[in-house]
């Protein structure tokens, strides 16, 4: 099993991997990927280290390449056969991207023993805390992978996943960082391929600008149907960091969103948004046939 500390490599937050080719000198990173996360060194406290030591063998999938970008190891693919051999059954699989401390995915796994769950998280303490929650309850239907979710969906076999959840993704508020937001057309296309017929991608955010971003990426994308039932008014232009208030004076339009997903427990991220007076935006996109 990979030791969490061995993966850590400082990453320059402002490094723009998409423009690395424009430099005349060699780029800082050999692979030109825009990542939705920054790998920060974070020591595990005694409790989390113990959880890692006790439960990693049971719950943590050995599928990462062992590099700082948390790529998936070469040759791996998430197939029906892998699911059957790992979870020991072929129950529907729900994948949550960016599980943070794991409160939501572990609560869902405990409430739905008839469903398999896969938690994807890049941050060591989050992974360790999820191991702790799952291990304390002795759950058998959950696994955790410490990989870049965007990479895993590139190697997922068609039709293998029932639902994908992305709740409170990192907001990347600066305009120059909006391309780091995890909801992007390429990921959507790979999730579309991975989902079973009529499978859904549920997304939630407390950031109004991210709600607009989600509509822009998803609402007219081939193969996706927004099956929300409520109408929400949003500004039509983007605002950068610290300028959220400016959005109120911008022209608005109506968009379709969903009621709060009742399968989600209140995590600290959602609570923080609510405490700050922000509105929670829920989305349900269904994978339908490509036009």
Ligand X SMILES: C[S@@+](CC[C@H](N)C(=O)[O-])C[C@H]1O[C@@H](n2cnc3c(N)ncnc32)[C@H](O)[C@@H]1O
Site for ligand X (CB under 6 A): which residue of 116, 130, 141, 148?
148
Task: Give the number of residues in contact with ligand X, rule: CB under 6 A.
Answer: 23
Of the ranges 80-88, 118-126, 233-241, 271-279, which one interacts with ligand X (CB under 6 A)?
118-126
Quick check: 236 and 212 in contact, CB under 8 A?
yes
Is 269 marked as binding a ligand?
Answer: yes
Catalytic residue among 14, 62, 64, 170: 170
Strands (E), the chain: 93-97, 116-120, 142-145, 161-167, 195-205, 224-226, 230-235, 252-257, 281-287
Binding flag, residue 135, ligand X (CB under 6 A): no
Whether 121 has a binding-site annotation, put simply, is: yes
Q: Annotated binding residue at 156?
A: no
Instruction: Give the Cα separation of 264 and 278 in Å (integer).
Output: 18
The single residue among 190, 258, 267, 284 that binds ligand X, judged by CB under 6 A, is 267
With CA atoms as reference, report the closest residue to 122 among 97, 142, 93, 103.
97
Query: Quick one: which of 36, 130, 156, 190 contacts ligand X (CB under 6 A)?
Result: 36
* Residue whose CB is less far from ligand X, 148 or 258: 148
CB 102 within 8 A of CB 126: yes
Tell me which residues in 171-210 interact with ligand X (CB under 6 A): 182
Residue 209 annotated as catalytic: no
Question: Does 52 interact with ligand X (rule: CB under 6 A)?
Answer: no
The closest alpha carbon to 214, from 182, 241, 175, belongs to: 182
121 sits near ligand X (criterion: CB under 6 A): yes
Q: What is the residue whose two structure tokens read 């390449």?
A: 65
CA distance 71 to 236: 35
- Please say which residue, 123 or 201, places its beta carbon nearer to ligand X: 123
How far is residue 284's CA from residue 256's CA, in Å, rounded to a whole number?
A: 10
235 binds ligand X (CB under 6 A): no
Q: Which residues bind ligand X (CB under 6 A)?
A: 36-37, 97-100, 120-123, 126, 148-150, 167-170, 182, 267-270
Query: Any idea which residues carry the catalytic annotation?
Result: 170
């Amino acid at each position: 099993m990979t030791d969490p500390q061995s993966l850590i490599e400082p990453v320059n937050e402002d490094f723009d991997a998409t423009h690395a080719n424009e430099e005349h000198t060699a780029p800082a990173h050999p692979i030109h990927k825009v990542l939705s996360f920054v790998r920060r060194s974070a020591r595990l406290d005694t409790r989390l280290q113990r959880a890692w030591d006790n439960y990693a063998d049971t719950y943590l999938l050995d599928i990462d390449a062992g590099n700082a970008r948390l790529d998936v190891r070469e040759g791996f693919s998430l197939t029906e056969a892998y699911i059957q051999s790992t979870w020991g059954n072929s129950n529907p699989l729900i994948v949550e991207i960016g599980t943070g401390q794991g409160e939501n995915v572990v609560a869902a796994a405990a409430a739905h023993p008839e469903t398999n769950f896969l938690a994807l998280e890049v941050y060591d303490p989050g992974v360790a805390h999820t191991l702790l929650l799952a291990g304390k309850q002795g759950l058998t239907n959950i696994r955790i992978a410490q990989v870049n979710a965007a990479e895993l969906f590139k190697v997922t076999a068609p039709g293998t996943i029932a639902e994908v959840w992305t709740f409170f993704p990192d907001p990347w508020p600066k305009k120059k960082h909006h391309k780091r937001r995890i909801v992007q057309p390429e990921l959507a296309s790979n999730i579309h391929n991975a989902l079973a017929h009529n499978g859904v991608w549920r997304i939630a955010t407390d950031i109004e600008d991210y709600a607009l971003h989600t509509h822009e990426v998803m609402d007219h994308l081939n193969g996706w149907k927004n099956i929300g039932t409520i109408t929400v008014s949003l500004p039509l232009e983007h605002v950068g960091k610290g300028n959220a208030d400016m959005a109120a004076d911008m022209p608005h339009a109506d968009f379709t969103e969903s009621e709060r997903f009742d399968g989600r427990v209140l995590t600290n991220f959602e609570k923080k948004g609510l405490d700050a007076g922000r509105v929670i935006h829920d989305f349900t996109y269904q994978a339908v046939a490509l036009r």
